[in-house]
Structure 1
Amino acid sequence: MTADEALARLKEGNARFIAGRARFPTVQKEVLADLAKGQHPFATLLGCSDSRVPPELVFDASFGELFVVRVAGNVLGPSIAGTLQYAGVYLETPLLIVLGHDGCGAVEAAIGERFHGVKHRSRIEILLREIVPALDGIDPSLPPDELLDACVEANVRATLARILGSPEWEENAAPRGMKAVGAIYALSTGRVRFLE
């Protein structure tokens, strides 16, 4: 598919959505008009950019219900942290979820860098700097699928720990009763496993 074909497909999809003929359930125009007045999502979600993990579909959530931030490897960089803080302070979402998924390509690239000396392009290297430290303590001799699963979970836990250990969380979110949890989505089944 060319870029022009992709753009045409998006335009056609939006036209179907507006006309109420979307392939997926849509919302009434009155609901959209109401949502235009302001947002009140019940959860903030930091997830991976992987096209196979659309949070609104995964959680069967409608417009205005989730405040979603997506970045490869569900990493926590400065602008991501600022976006999450915005959701907590101004939107007052009571729940924050860090959602990883099995087979994550960003985590797989971090494994290659950490354990096999693989080098990546400069901007990807910047992204991987957020993931590689989470892999400390993981046994690189695990079978490849087990290694990737262990690293995906370690990455989610490390991102969650960074959020929970931040001064912003300790000073603002925790006292207001906000909760943060980690979770992993299974690509083959669609099931989300919430971490203890």
Structure 2
Amino acid sequence: MANPLITRRQWLTTVSGFSLAALSGCGLPTLRDEQIDLPPYPRNAPEALQRLKSGNQRFMADKPFHIHESATWRNLLVEGQKPYATVLGCSDSRVPPEMVFDVGFGDIFTIRLAGNIIDEDVIGSLQYAVAHLHTPLFVVMGHENCGAVTAAVEEMLGKAEELQHIEALISLIKPGLRKLDFSLDRTTLIQAAVEANVRWSMQQLLALPGAAKATREKSVTLVGAVYELNSGRVRFLDGA
């Protein structure tokens, strides 16, 4: 694994075989974040989490940096990547993690599936992030008014029946909602269900022997979060 004290630009420059001087000599634009006061590449999970939180604050304030989007930066990523966080989120078009956290190409490894569910494909992608990308931070992010979670709640209330493949998807969500108080008003119930589903996904991940060992040894940190559609805020769970 790369020296944690090295900047990611240095790492990417090495693996791509380019130098910034050579690139600028070819007439390509300079890296945009050269003019932005960014902290060094995150060395560990707390620093990665703080980078995500800072990006979300900019997103909420409508003052994004839009970093790591230039042609020069994309060229540096051709031969390799070194994301500092992995985000498991929902496929919902209103919740793109890269925009929500104001990050660019190569910053986060993103896995998106309706309802941020856990299945074999997701587990395989997460194992790849651990074994090959060495991301120290893993975020499970749900969001308000999630359609997949709502469908699971409606079915558990006996108010709806879904198509075959949608049913297969929400069947992976329902076990995590069984302890909810279904007498709550609908808005409160859906809010509680979204958070319960995030915690359910985290619980399933922590039940995996490899994940349990990695979190116990603190080589990986797992946190949960819920995105608020109106404010744009990412609310991290358990005081993260």
TM tier relative to shorter chain:
0.7 to 0.9
Question: What amino acid is aligned across from residue 63 of structure 1 in structure 2?
Answer: F
Distance in 1 (CA, whole Å) between partners of 2:216 and 2:117 is 21
The verdict on how the C-alpha distance between 1:42 and 1:52 changes in structure 2, with shifts beyond 3 A counting, is: same
Instruction: Report the Cα distance in structure 2 between the residues aligned to 1:179 and 1:172, rounded to whole angstroms.
Output: 8
Query: In structure 1, how many angstroms separate the alpha carbons of the residues matched to 2:144 and 2:70?
Result: 35
Which sits farther off after the overlay, 24-33 or 44-53?
24-33
Instruction: Quote the Cα distance in structure 1 between the aligned partners of 2:129 and 2:167.
Output: 28
RMSD over equivalenced CA pairs, Å: 1.6
Pick aligned residue for 2:104 from 43, 62, 65? 62
1:89 to 124, 128, 131: 131
Partner of 2:87: 45
**Counterpart of 1:65 in structure 2: which amino acid?**
D
Structure 2 residue 224 is matched with structure 1 residue 182: yes
1:126-175, CA deviations, whole angstroms, 9 ceiling, x for partnerless residues? 10111001111111110110000000000000101111121120234543
* Residue of 102, 106, 119 corresponding to 1:77: 119
List runs of 5+ in structure 2 lacking aligned partners. Answer: 1-64
Q: What secondary structure sits across from 1:123 in the alignment? A: helix
Matched position secondary structure for 1:140: coil
Task: For 2:119, give the aligned amino acid.
Answer: G
Which position in structure 1 is the counterpart of 2:57? none
User: Alignment partner for residue 141 of structure 1, among 150, 173, 183?
Assistant: 183
Identity %: 45
Q: Kindly indicate whether residue 159 of structure 2 is the aligned counterpart of residue 102 of structure 1.
A: no
The 8 Å contact of residues 215 and 222 in structure 2, kept in 1 or not, is answered as no
Distance in 1 (CA, whole Å) between partners of 2:214 and 2:188 is 37
Return the letter of the residue paired with 1:30.
Answer: T
Moved over 3 A (4+): 171-174
- Out of 118-127 and 170-179, give the one that drifted further: 170-179
Instruction: Quote the residue 2:73 is aligned against.
Output: 31
Report how many aligned residue pairs link the two structures: 174
1:121 and 2:167 matched = no
Distance 1:69 1:35 in 2: 19
- For residues 28 and 61 of structure 1, what CA distance do their matches in structure 2 show? 12
Change in CA separation of 1:173 and 1:87 when aligned onto 2, cut-off 3 Å? farther
User: Letter of the aligned partner of 1:35 in structure 2?
Assistant: L
Letter in 2 for 1:105: G
Query: After alignment, is 137-146 or 171-180 more displaced?
Result: 171-180
- Out of 28-37 and 76-85, give the one that drifted further: 28-37
The residue that corresponds to 2:202 in the other structure is 160
> Which blocks of at least 5 consecutive residues in structure 1 are unaligned?
1-23
- With over 3 angstroms needed to count, the CA separation of the structure-2 counterparts of 1:174 and 1:82, relative to structure 1, is farther
What letter is aligned with 1:180?
A: L
- Structure of greater Rg: 2
1:38–1:173 distance in 2 versus 1, CA, 3 Å? farther
In the alignment, the residues of structure 2 paired with residue 72 and residue 174 of structure 1 have an alpha-carbon distance, to the nearest angstrom, of: 29
